[in-house]
Chains A and B, each alone.
Chain A
Amino acid sequence: MATNFWTSTHLKELLEQEEVDVVHNLDKQRGITLDDFKLIKLQMTNYIARLAQNVKVRQRVVATAVTYMRRVYTKRSMTEYDPRLLAPSCLYLAAKSEESTVQARLLVFYIKKIYPDERYRCEIKEILEMEMKILEALNYYLVVFHPYRSLPQLLQDAGMSDAIQLTWGIVNDTYRMDLILIHPPYLIGLACIYVASVLNEKDNTAWFEDLRVDMNVVKNIAMEILDFYDKQRTISDERVNAAMHKLGLRK
C-alpha cells in the first residue's frame, strides 16, 4: 500500500458495518429491506462493471466508481438518488478522478445499447447534474485506495504467483459487498489471498503469521467473502427486480 493511506481521508472515512447497513427512512417507507438494499447495490455494481467493459476503462476505475456509489448510499436515499442514474454517474466521476476521462455521451450511448429497458435511459445533462450531487454527498473526498496494486507483490512473496488471476477475481468480487467502506484495502487484499489459498488448498499459515497484521480481522473478512459466494447462488433476477420495483422510480 502506498504510505499515504495512513493519513488519507479514505482511512478517516472508514465506517462500521452497522453504519453501512442502514436503510434510509425514505427507502424504508417504500418497503425496502436491508436485503433489498444490498441486492440493489449488488445489481448496480454489476451495472457499473458492465458499462465499464464497454467504455473500456481500467479495473481501478470500476472499483472507485463502486466505492463512490456505496459511499453515497450511506448518506443518501435511493428514493432521491435513483440507482440507475447514480451508477453511471459514479462511473463518469470515477473515470475523471482516476485520470481516464470518459465522455458522458459515450456512457449514454452504451447505456441505451446494453439496457434497452426505458428506466435505465438517461441524458447527458442528468449525469452531469448527478456528478455535482455525488461530489457533495462524498464531501468531495475522491481519493480511494484499492487492494490491486500490492497484490502481485504480496502473492509473489507468498509463493502464490500462479494464483494471481484467481485472487484478482476475488478482489473484484469484494466490490459486490461493502467491504471497501469498512476495512482498509490491504486487509481486504490479504483476505482475498487467504481465500485463494483455501480454494487452492495451499497452506500459507506460516506466511500469514509472519505478517504483522491482525489475522482475526483477515479471517473474518475472508469468512464474509465465502458467505457472500454461498448466498450469491440464491440470488435470482426475480428478487432483484422485485427490490428495484419497490423503488418504482422514473417513468
Chain B
Amino acid sequence: MADLDQLLTKKVADRYLKREVLGEGTYGVVFKAIDTKTGQVVAIKKIRLGKQKEGVNFTALREIKLLKELKDPNIIELIDCFPHKGNLHLVFEFMETDLEAVIRDRNIVLSPTDIKSYIQMTLKGLAVCHKKWVLHRDMKPNNLLIGPRGQLKLADFGLARIFGSPDRRFTHQVFARWYRAPELLFGAKQYGPGVDVWAAACIFAELLLRRPFLQGASDIDQLGKIFAAFGTPKPSQWPDMIYLPDYVEYQFVPGQTFRTLFPMASDDALDLLSKMFAYDPKARISAQQALEHRYFSSGPPPTEPALLPRPPPKKDSMDSKPSEFGPTVLSPNSRKTRRVMPEKGNDHGIGNERSGPAPMSLDFSVYDNRPPARPTINSADRTHLKRKLDLEFQIPEDDEYP
C-alpha cells in the first residue's frame, strides 16, 4: 500500500485506523476503526473525562472491570483499552446491529426457531454473568448486539454490578422501565439475578409480539400494565410483596392467560415464559434453568445464528477501496444511533409512548427511520441513580470490621 505513510498519521495509538462515528454512547463517542494488527473491524468508545475532574468515568471503569472478567461468545468482547491524548479508549468487537433493530424491521419475519435462537443466546450470556455473580441490570433489545455472523452478545455493562453477598443493598433505579421487574418497581433494594430474567422475559415477549410488551408510561403505570397482563399477584403467589418499601395495594384485576397474551407461541414457549414472568423472584426460573427448559430441547431446534434474519447492514465505507480512506467523514447518521442518550429525539415526552402500536396492517417500513420513543433510564432517574451509585456504597457493610 503506497499511501500507508499517510494512513499512519490517522491512526489512533499507532494501531487503530479511525473510521466513521457510530454514535454517541452513554459516556462518549463511539467510532468504527480497523485494527491494523489483525485487520479486524472494531468499535472504539472514547471515554469522555468527567466534568468534575474526577478522572476515568465511573461507569466506564465498571464496564472495564466486569468485561475483563467476562469472556464468553454471548458477551461483548472488550479487546483492548488504551489511553490516547489523555482520554481512555475501549476497543470492542464490532457489532453490526442490535436486537431492537431486528424486532422493529417490518421486512423481517421471525420464525419460531429464530425467536428460540435469539432468546437462547440472550439467556446463555445472562447465565454466564450470573454464574460469575454479575447482574447486568440494563437488559433491553437495544443492548443485545448482533455480530456479523448473527451471534447475539450482551453489551453495555455500565450499570452492571457484582452481587457477591446476598444481603447487599442496591439501588432499584435500574433497567429501562419497560423491562423492570415488579420487585424493582416496588422499590426492592435487595434483589438478585431474577431482575435480569424478568427483563429477558420481556425481550422474549417482544420477539413474539414484535412490539415492546409492557409499555408503562410511569412506574405506577408499569405495574398496572404488568398486573393487567398477568393479574394482580395474590399473597400466596408472592408472600414477600407486601414488605417491599414502595408497596401499594393495587385493585385486583384477574389478568389474562398466557395463551391469550401470546396466541402464536408454542405450549413450551408459554410454559417457559410463565416461569420467567413468575412474580415472586424466589420462584422465578434462573437463566441456567431456563436454558435447560424443554422449550430449547424439544421441537424444532433454534436457528443457526448465521442464518438468522437481520436488517441489511448499514451501507458503510467498509466496501470502499483503501485509497478512499482519506479523512473520516462524520456523516450524519440517518438511522438511529446505538444507545443514544435519554430523551434525544424524544421531545414529545412520555405521552408519546402511550400511543402504543399502530394497527398491524400499516406498512411501517417507510417509518423505519423514526423509531417509537423508548424510555431508557430517564434523566431524573439518572441523576438520582448516579448519586445512589456513587454514594450509597460508602456505607460500611458486610466487609466492615465486625
Contact = CB atoms under 8 A, between A and B. Distances in A.
A2 interface: yes
A100 B393 contact: yes
B389 interface: yes
Contacts of A128: 53-55
B68 interface: yes
Interface stretch (B115-123, B284-292, B301-309, B394-402): B394-402
Contacts of A9: 68-69
B164 interface: yes
A182 B62 CA distance: 25
A7 B55 contact: no
Given A2-B133, A124-B53, A141 B68 contact: yes
Interface in A120-157: 124-125, 127-128, 131-132, 135-136, 140-143, 146, 148-149, 152
Contacts of A140: 64, 68, 81
Contacts of A99: 62, 161, 389, 393
B165 interface: yes
A103 B54 contact: yes
Given A2-B133, A4-B131, A132-B83, A58 B400 contact: yes
Contact of A131 (B55, B399, B400): B55
Contacts of A7: 69, 132
B390 interface: yes
Given A58-B399, A142-B65, A164-B402, A3 B131 contact: yes
B58 interface: yes
B393 A92 contact: no
B56 A131 contact: yes
B3 to A, nearest CB: 31
Contacts, number: 97
Contacts of B399: 58-60, 146, 148-149
Interface string A59-100: 110000000000000000000000000000000110011111
B400 A135 contact: no
B109 interface: no
Contacts of B396: 58
A241 interface: no
Given A92-B55, A99-B389, A142 B68 contact: yes
A34 B99 CA distance: 56
Interface string A177-204: 0000000000000000000000000000
Interface string B62-100: 101110110000000000011100101000000000000
Given A3-B131, A7-B132, A143 B397 contact: no
Interface in B341-398: 389-391, 393-394, 396-398
B69 A96 contact: no
A58 B54 CA distance: 20
Please classify how large the interface on chain B is, using the bins under 10, 10 to 19, 20 to 34, 35 or more. 35 or more
B61 interface: yes
A101 B402 contact: no
* Central interface residue in A99, A128, A143, by most chain B CB within 10 Å: A99
A104 interface: yes
Contact of B55 (A59, A104, A143): A104
B53 A143 contact: no
Given A7-B132, A59-B401, A168-B401, A143 B56 contact: no
Interface string A96-120: 1111110111000000000000000
B397 to A, nearest CB: 7
A165 B58 contact: no
Contacts of B401: 59, 165, 168
A29 interface: no
A5 B394 CA distance: 24
B55 A127 contact: yes
Contact of B400 (A59, A93, A105): A59
A96 B56 contact: yes
A17 interface: no
Interface of A: 2-4, 7-9, 56-60, 92-93, 96-101, 103-105, 124-125, 127-128, 131-132, 135-136, 140-143, 146, 148-149, 152, 164-165, 168
Interface of B: 52-56, 58, 61-62, 64-66, 68-69, 81-83, 86, 88, 131-133, 161-162, 164-165, 389-391, 393-394, 396-402
17 contacts: A2-B164, A4-B133, A58-B394, A97-B65, A99-B62, A101-B58, A103-B52, A132-B55, A132-B83, A132-B88, A135-B64, A136-B83, A140-B64, A142-B61, A152-B402, A168-B401, A168-B402
